[in-house]
Amino acid sequence: MKCPNCKDKDLVPVMTQQGVEVDFCPQCEGIWLDKNEIYLFTRAPTYLKTKIEEAVQSKKDSTRLSPVLSRTMVELPILGGEINIDYCPESEGFWLDKDEINKLPAIKTRLRIDKGIFRDSKTGLPKTLLALPNLSLRSAMVLLGLYALLSLFLIIFVELGKISASTALTAGLIVAALQFMLGPFLMDLSLRMLYKMSWVKPEDLPQHLRIFISKICQDEGINFPRMGIILDGAPNAFTYGHHPNNARVVITRGLLDLLNKEETEAVVAHEMGHVLHWDMLIMTLAQLVPLILYYVYRTLIRMKSRGKDKSAPMRILIAIFAYVLYIISEFIVLWFSRLREYFADRFSGKVTGNPNALASALVKIGYGLAGDDSGKGGMNYKERQDTLNSVGPMGIFDSKCASILAVSGYSGPRSMGGEVNKDKLRDVAKWDLWNPWAAYYELQSTHPLIAKRLKFLSNQSRVLGKDPYIEFNQRRPESYWDDFFLDLSVKALPFIIFVSAIALLIAKKEIFYLWLGSFVFGFAYLINTVFSYPDSDFVVMNIKNLLSKIKVSAVRPVPCRIKGKIIGRGVPGLIFSEDFVMQDETGVIFLDYRQPLVIFNFLFGLLRAARYINQDAEVIGWYRRSPVPYIEIKKLMIAGKESTCLTYNTKLIFSMALIILGFVMAISIVK
């Protein structure tokens, strides 16, 4: 894009202190803001939007050309002409000359551009595969370490707990055997009862997918896996079973709709990688260690004895020790799971010969980014219908599928089926690469962050002689740790106050401290609620705007208003899932329906959620990341009907009630 002011100078994407990427002219230092981006820089977006709408009524002709459309823009006099900014009515973007943005109403902080990017030189990229540890050796070491940890605990348990070794060993073996033997069958049962899922024969799969899976099975000498399809528009895939020859691979209808043929094959190849690496068995064995430790912990905590319980102190001590080891082993298992995901990704890239296909699929599924389906990579509407008809005889898709697919797979010139906009992707991935919350959540996740997986897949493409899927700018324009620690402090404040109040009550043994603690806890909870639920300026945005925001977390949201179409449930196919997946013209995002009591979530999902599927909707809520991008619903409006989530209101009432009750009772005791 060319600078509207300098005309022949290219605009360069740069980061700002607000954690938003803008297009910047290094020569005149003006900036271009895409549609709705201007509202990410002000504390009062609704007020600014009103002033802009007023200025549109007094617009003047401008000689500058829009960098997006190369058409003449108009000039808007903001605040009675104190500042004049250029506006493109067609793209709804703004051009602001040097320092003009700092004159807008209620700007959060002075805009600072990261100019260091112009000083950086491009470094060479590795031309060999990024090293992964030896899978067999690492698997053996992890399993040996986990079971050594478990054995040590059982020995201590036997010695201090005064129970027989056979009792401890039998308990562990029973839990392990039941988990391994019954797990797949219980999963089969739950899929049949709770999900709209059907098992399909190989010949009822799309032809290209059947041929692809058959070739992998033939080359690797395993049986064709049992295939299931969940009737839901949200994309997902998973595998389970005992061993490679009785594996089940389950995909959703949304996966077939959302991805093109190469991407679908790449995702299935990833799942086949789990099958061939025996991940089902190995991860079951690894997960048994924390499962047994937790089982022992719960058993000891609940155990009661008649009369004076002299063993209670020792029993509680062992229970605490078991719980600590459970936490340690759980983090080890999570790390082990993330490692195996990299190997499954690499297997997919190897058998498809196209790691970029899996990378593209991960972006569409994990980030919900829309692609341009006008190129060669996408399937057109007719091809999508033919693909569906191949499984039609099994009753997997009914007559309404075509309209559903038109939503999730083909929505006009821009859809989810084709190439992803790489600039858009770089914006979204910066959260994974730069925000400390990303690392915090990854520690608790079974899967690596998507940006990290893309890095390995792009490296594999380069080694195979293909252009890498994407190259990320690793330069971080600022430290985001200050925001992280503020978020963490706000999140932890009520818990810290609660623990402190209990400790003070136990130490002083006076009822006054109970009510004082109630007052302080209520105040801390109120701070947490107000910080986490800003209840104003729900400005209309699109999913692209939201996904590019870096300074956002589960604690620090962005109030927003989104219009789009509901294409599926949050948990694909689950008959009582209360959450949704929404698509607009720029992407797909998860909607979190959350009421104060879980029973209301369940009833909404079971009785009402189905009628929202495939409907145009407007959502008012709070955009968060943890690390999956999602919007916590405040209001959901469809066809003139409105559903309201009362979590925010309930938290406000609860905190105020604690403050008032604690204050009144504490004062009465003092008097």
> Rounded to whole angstroms, how far apart are CA atoms 143 and 125?
35
The answer to whether 540 touches 561, Cβ cutoff 8 Å, is yes
Total Cβ atoms within 10 A of residue 614 = 17
What is the β-pairing status of strands 93-96 and 197-200? unpaired
Longest distance between any two alpha carbons in the chain, whole Å = 92
| Distance linking the first and last C-alpha atoms of the chain | 72
The pair of three-digit structure tokens given for residue 372, joined into one six-digit string = 């341009």
The answer to whether 634 touches 618, Cβ cutoff 8 Å, is no
> Rounded to whole angstroms, how far apart are CA atoms 252 and 247?
17
> Rounded to whole angstroms, how far apart are CA atoms 13 and 540?
24
DSSP letter string, 627-668: SSEEEEEEEEEETTEEEE--HHHHHHHHHHHHHHHHHHHHHH
The answer to whether 406 touches 380, Cβ cutoff 8 Å, is no
Residue 534, preceding peptide bond in cis (omega within 30° of 0): no
At 617, which helix (H) or strand (E)?
strand 616-625
Identify whether 383 is a catalytic site residue: no
The CA-atom distances, in angstroms, between 129 and each of 339, 372, 462 are 16, 30, 9
At 212, which helix (H) or strand (E)?
helix 207-220
Q: Is the dihedral of CA 246, 249, 250, 256 positive or negative?
A: negative
The full 3-state SS of 302-341, as one line of letters, equals HCCCCCCCCCHHHHHHHHHHHHHHHHHHHHHHHHHHHHHH
> Rounded to whole angstroms, how far apart are CA atoms 84 and 75?
6
Axis-axis angle for helices 312-352, 355-362 (nearest 10): 130
DSSP letter string, 566-597: EEEESSTTBTT---EEEEETTEEEEEE---SS
Beta bridge partners of 560: 621
The pair of three-digit structure tokens given for residue 186, joined into one six-digit string = 């219980």
> Rounded to whole angstroms, how far apart are CA atoms 663 and 26?
57
Active-site residue, selected from the candidate residues 100, 262, 263, 271: 271
DSSP H helical segments within 111-206, as ranges? 135-161, 165-194
At 239, which helix (H) or strand (E)?
strand 237-240
The pair of three-digit structure tokens given for residue 1, joined into one six-digit string = 């894009």
CA 113 to chain CA centroid, Å, is: 28
List the catalytic residues. 271
